[in-house]
Structure 1
Amino acid sequence: MINRERIVNEFLKYVQIDSPTKQEGNFAKFISEELKNIGLEVYIDDAGEKVGSDTGNVIAKLKGVKDAAPILFSCHMDTVSPGVGIKPIIKDDVIYSDGTTILGGDNKAGISAVVEALKVIKENNIEHGPIEVAFSIFEEGGLFGAKNFDYSKLESKMGFVLDSGGDPGQIVVKGPAQDKINAKFIGRPAHAGVAPEEGISAIQVAAAAITKMNLLRIDEETTANIGVIQGGQVTNIVCPEVEIKAEARSLSNEKLDKQTAHMVECLKEAAEEFGAKVEIETERMYGAFVIDEDAEIVHIVQKACENIGLKAFTSSSGGGSDTNILNGNSITAVNLGIGEKKPHTLEEHLKIEDLVNTARLVLEIIKTVA
């Protein structure tokens, strides 16, 4: 039933509508009209005003023709840089950019699959329950769109996010929590050649703190990283200030608490050791989610995959997605593989077969739930 030619053409059209993070407005207007033309009721919330985007999240609803629980399909509209002026090309049934930008399959492949499935439902009068769609802004860099969804507009207690790089059939049932840890060491400047002993090197303090830390792979569920160090301008002054930006992630909220506390303690101990000051900010960006592999939502995807000849498999993710936020807002959600390969790079690509199979899976999930 999925129209291969149409979904490919629509995907090519979607990625050529620029929608970098916080500038999703043009695409939001376009996709809103697409959804209205299919017959959905469309609402744009006020998330954009809260996070500095030129539009809010797109929330749409299709009334059910059968008495069934509503289900939600979620994708994000924004793309990473360089993502302006995308020129898609097709080679051997694989879609690439021209090599000067990302492709934007992350996440417009998911959007294309949802929209195509909805068109097929309407064209073929397929019976279905209530369907909700949520296309978020500002997912990249902090999941801020999903954090600011107007959840009063969503009735679904079950959600399917289409934003993982695995093959169609992948069901991500575990995702980590993440903490951001920012610190500023404040030492004391001095002439590095005349009186260095009068100074306190913020660089030296930062180095001591980092040396004390357990970093990178902590265990099978936990990671930590120092990503940015900034400080100093010239070599003849003992550096008075250094800023560090770090993160920690874990599939266990308890393990994350422990890792973050360890890193904070290392920062404080180093400052005390050298007589410096340190200002520390920590923020829980999102919580972890763990869905039981015997949960109803997992069985629904497995059954849908079986019905259309896809191999279903469960996995965990090391990155955050809107799935984390939905689960934190009482919507049981999994993240589904849609075949987006090498996202966030100039080599990003998408097999047409995976695009079609993702749409087939969305359609079959709708039929299975109904």
Structure 2
Amino acid sequence: MVNKSRLVDTFIELVKIDSETKHEGKFQKYLKERFQSLGLEVIEDDTMAETGFGANNLLCRLPGNVNADAIFFSCHMDTVTPGLGIKPEIREDIIYSDGTTILAADDKAGIAIMLETVALIQENNTPHGTLEFVLSVGEESGLIGIKAFDMRTLKASHGFVLDTGGPVGSITVGSPTHAGLEIQIDGTAAHAGIEPEKGISALEIAAKAISQMKLGRVDFETTANIGIIEGGTATNIVMEHVRMVAEVRSINSESCEAQIQHMKDLFEKTTAEMGGAITIKVDRKYSGFDFNADNTVVKIATEAMAKLGMTANHEVSGGGSDANIFNEQGKETTNLSIGYEKIHTVHEYIPIRELEKATALAYEIVKQVVTK
């Protein structure tokens, strides 16, 4: 029932509107008018002052026409760079950019799916409960927009984020808790050629601690990485200061905390032994979730896929999305694959067939909620 031509036209139109992170204003205005033209109530929050981003979040609501549970779908408005002046091209039923920019299927494919789903519901007078569509800013910069969104404005308690790559059919059933660490080690400067014995190298402290540290894939649930190391001013000065930025991710929140403590203990112990000073800041960016087949959103999506002849793939992700924040704040939410590939690169693409399948799935989810 998906109108392929309209769906593709909508997607092409969306990706041509620039909306790199922190510059979502023009695109947000377009979406606000587009959802209003479909007869939805559109609520714009007032989070720009808090987030510093280029627009507020949007909540678009289609009242139910039958007595059924409310659900929501969510996408983000912002894109990564290079995302200005996108020129989409269709080759052999696959949509690409012209190779100089991203395509922005992440996440404008999800928004196109939202709009086509609303159109299908209205054209077919499809029975549905209240449907809510959340459009966030700043997802690509640490889920900033959705963190500021007031979840109390949502009537629905269960939702589906349309923002995962790969073939349609995957349901995200697990996503990690994610923490960032900023480590500052202070040693003592000295002339490296004349009197290095009088110095305490911050770099040597860091190196000795790191050499004892569990990093990379710590276990099947947990990863840790030190991604930035900065320090030093000249080769003839014993390095006085080192700044490092690290991260820890784990599906198991206790394992995440244990890895953070492991890293802190080694840095602090080694610094004390070598006579330096240290400051460690931990930023817990978002909490993880761990679903099983009995979770409501997993059951709904799995049953909808079965209706469409798909076999559901329950997938654990190593990354986070707006779904993490919804779950953290009490809204049971999964993330669904919608077909795009090679995101965040100029080689990004989406097969039109996958875009159609993802739309059919969103539409079937709406119907499934009514019949369950």
Q: Is the 8 A contact 1:72 1:132 kept in 2?
A: yes
Q: What residue ranges of structure 2 are gaps of 5+ in the alignment?
A: none
Which residue of structure 1 lines up, in the alignment, with residue 183 of structure 2? 183
Output one character per residue of 1:179-211: Cα deviation in whole Å (capped at 9) or x when no partner: 101111111111111111111111111111211
Q: Deviations over 1:313-358 (max 9, x none)?
A: 2111000111111011111111101112111112111111111111
How much is the aligned-residue C-alpha RMSD, in angstroms? 1.1
Which residue does 1:294 correspond to in 2? 294
2:122 partner amino acid: K
Q: For residues 139-288 of structure 1, what are the structure 2 equivalents within 5 Å? A: 139-288=139-288
The answer to whether the Cα contact below 8 Å between 1:304 and 1:368 also exists between their aligned partners in 2 is yes
Tell me, in whole angstroms, the C-alpha distance in 2 between the residues paired with 1:44 and 1:185: 44
Deviations 1:198-242 (A, max 9, x none): 111111111112112100001110000011111112211111111
The answer (yes or no) to whether the contact 1:49–1:55 under 8 Å persists in 2 is: no
CA contact (8 A) 1:171 1:336 kept: yes
| Structure 1 contact 185–276 (Cα < 8 Å) conserved | yes
TM-score (norm 2): 0.97
1:21-40, aligned counterparts within 5 Å? 21-40=21-40
Kindly provide the amino acid, as one letter, of the partner of residue 264 in structure 1.
Answer: K
2:111 equivalent to 1:111: yes
1:188/1:239 contact within 8 Å kept? yes
Runs of 4+ in 1 over 3 A off after TM superposition: none
Contact 1:179-1:247 at 8 Å conserved across structures: yes
Corresponding residue of 1:60: 60
Structure 1 residue 81 and structure 2 residue 81: aligned? yes
**Letter aligned with residue 150 of structure 1:** D
Q: State the 1:108 CA deviation.
A: 0.8
SS at match of 1:140: helix
Q: d(CA) in 1 for partners of 2:29 and 2:139?
A: 18
CA separation in 1, counterparts of 2:278 and 2:101? 40
- After superposition, where does 1:113-128 map in structure 2 within 5 Å? 113-128=113-128
Note if contact 1:89-1:96 (Cα within 8 Å) is conserved in structure 2.
yes
CA distance, structure 2, for counterparts of residue 343 and residue 200 of structure 1: 44
After superposition, the C-alpha distances for 1:221-264 in whole angstroms (9 at most, x for unaligned) are 00000111111122111111111000000000000000000011
Is residue 49–residue 56 contact of structure 1 (8 Å, CA) maintained in 2?
no
The 8 Å contact of residues 78 and 138 in structure 1, kept in 2 or not, is answered as yes
In structure 2, distance between residues paired with 1:201 and 1:83: 42
Structure 1 residue matching 2:341: 3-state secondary structure: coil
Separation in structure 2 between the aligned mates of residue 265 and residue 84 of structure 1, nearest angstrom: 45
1:45 equivalenced with 2:45 (yes/no): yes
Q: How far did residue 119 of structure 1 move?
A: 1.0
Deviation by residue 1:36-76 (Cα, 9 ceiling, x = unmatched):
11111001112222110121111110000001111010111
Alignment size in residue pairs: 370
Q: Distance in 2 between matches of 1:45 and 1:258?
A: 37
Q: What is residue 326 of structure 2 aligned with on the other side?
A: 326
Structure 1: runs of 5 or more not aligned: none
Q: Which amino acid aligns with 1:237?
A: I
> Counterpart of 1:343?
343
Match of 1:311 in 2: 311
**C-alpha distance after superposition, 1:267-322 (max 9, x if no partner):** 11121122111111001111110122122222211121122222222111000111
Q: TM-score, normalised by structure 1?
A: 0.98
**8 Å contact kept, 1:186–1:242:** yes
Counterpart Cα distance in 2 of 1:268 and 1:84: 45
Verify the 8 A CA contact 1:175 1:320 in the aligned structure 2: yes
Letter in 1 for 2:30: F
Give the conservation status (yes or no) of the 8 Å contact 1:300–1:365.
Answer: yes
**Most deviating of 341-350 and 244-253:** 341-350
Greater alpha carbon shift after TM alignment, 86-95 vs 279-288:
86-95
Counterpart AA for 1:286: Y
Paired with 2:173 and 2:225, the residues of 1 have a C-alpha distance of 24
Q: Distance in 2 between matches of 1:67 and 1:349?
A: 39
1:96-107 → structure 2 map (5 Å cutoff): 96-107=96-107
Q: Secondary structure of the residue that 1:190 maps to in structure 2?
A: coil
CA distance in 1, matches of 2:324, 2:86: 29
**Cα distance between partner residues in 2 of 1:139 and 1:266:** 33
- Cα separation, 1, equivalents of 2:32 and 2:65: 22
Deviation sequence 1:141-166 (CA, Å, 0-9, x none): 31111111121210111100111113
User: Distance between the aligned counterparts of 1:233 and 1:19, measured in 2?
Assistant: 38
Structure 1: distance between partners of 2:246 and 2:357: 38
The separation in 1 between residues aligned to 2:295 and 2:152, in whole angstroms, is 25
Shift of 1:173: 0.8
